[in-house]
Amino acid sequence: MASTATHLVVVFTMLVSAMAAAESNMLQDFCVADLSNAVRVNGYTCKDSTQVTPEDFYFQGLATAKAAANSSTGAIVTSATVEKLPGLNTLGLSMSRIDYAPNGLNPPHVHPRASEVIFVLEGQLYVGFVTTAGKLVAKYINKGEVFVFPKGLLHFQKNIAGSAPASVLAAFDSQLPGTQSLVASLFGALPDNILVETFKIKPKQVKTIKSRYQPKK
């Protein structure tokens, strides 16, 4: 009897798992994000379909270049995520535009929830990522070319032209990829003693670097 009951539990568990897997696809045409609803469970709740408009699926923020020279690193990222484009909700994709001033740098960072592919609109860049084994995979890329950064790996882009701007379009397999900047995260959040021991530098140097980054509240 005990053996039969065990078998029933196993079969039931398998059926539930199979049903959950079968329902992983969308069960409606779309789920436009209700950005006014504070309730979030790994995404946004759906807006009332009768209130959906074409504007929910439209965003013009990537159309023009931004003045990257005014940024601290010479690069500006303009994102078209679910927070700007509610129609992306549950679709598992988003885009960004990155504009670089001459010699501009998009510093080392990570997207914890997405892989990224970039298409060069203008200019020439030096781009790359670092594997978990510590190997640098990098290449010079030009207008019309594509490069991929695997999910969760540290990566960067650098405009190598000293006199011309550059720009790329980036696509992600997440509606909200998230971005964690390496230096800003380390020196904007970690205690001084941890940074001193990690980088083998003096407390005064840590404080100097930290002064450039405000901790998140």
CB atoms within 10 A of CB 130: 16
How far CA 199 is from CA of 186, 192, 202, 203, 205, in Å, comes to 11, 11, 9, 10, 10
**Region 136-141: what's the mean pLDDT?**
98
* Residue 168 and residue 125 in contact, taking contact as beta carbons nearer than 8 Å: yes
Asked whether the predicted pLDDT for residue 20 surpasses 50, the reply is: no
Domain boundaries for CATH 2.60.120.10 within the chain? 1-178
**54 pLDDT tier (thresholds 50, 70, 90):** very high
pLDDT digits (tens, 9 = 90+) for 161-186: 999 999 999 999 999 999 999 999 99
Q: What is the mean pLDDT of the chain?
A: 90
| φ and ψ at residue 142, rounded to 5 degrees | -125, 175
Q: How many residues does the chain have?
A: 217
Rounded CA-CA distance 141/120 in Å is 8
**48 pLDDT tier (thresholds 50, 70, 90):** very high
User: Which letter, b or e, does each residue of 64-85 get, where b requires 16 or more Cβ atoms within 10 Å of its Cβ?
Assistant: ebbebeebebbbbebbbbbeeb
Looking at 13-22, 42-51, 109-118, 206-215, which range is the least confident one? 13-22
- Answer with the residue of higher pLDDT: 19 or 37: 37
In the block, tokens 């690069």 appear at 75
Q: Tell me the pTM.
A: 0.83
In the block, tokens 């550059």 appear at 166
Sign of the torsion angle spanned by Cα atoms 41, 42, 46, 52: positive
CATH of 1-178, one of 2.60.120.10, 3.90.640.10, 1.10.260.40, 3.30.565.10: 2.60.120.10
Counting residues of the chain whose pLDDT is more than 90, the rounded percentage is 78
In the block, tokens 């436009």 appear at 32
Indicate left, alpha or beta for 163 from its phi (over 0: left) and psi (-120 to 50: alpha): alpha
> Which element (helix H / strand E) includes 107?
strand 105-110
pLDDT digits (tens, 9 = 90+) for 191-204: 999 999 999 999 99
Asked whether the predicted pLDDT for residue 4 surpasses 90, the reply is: no
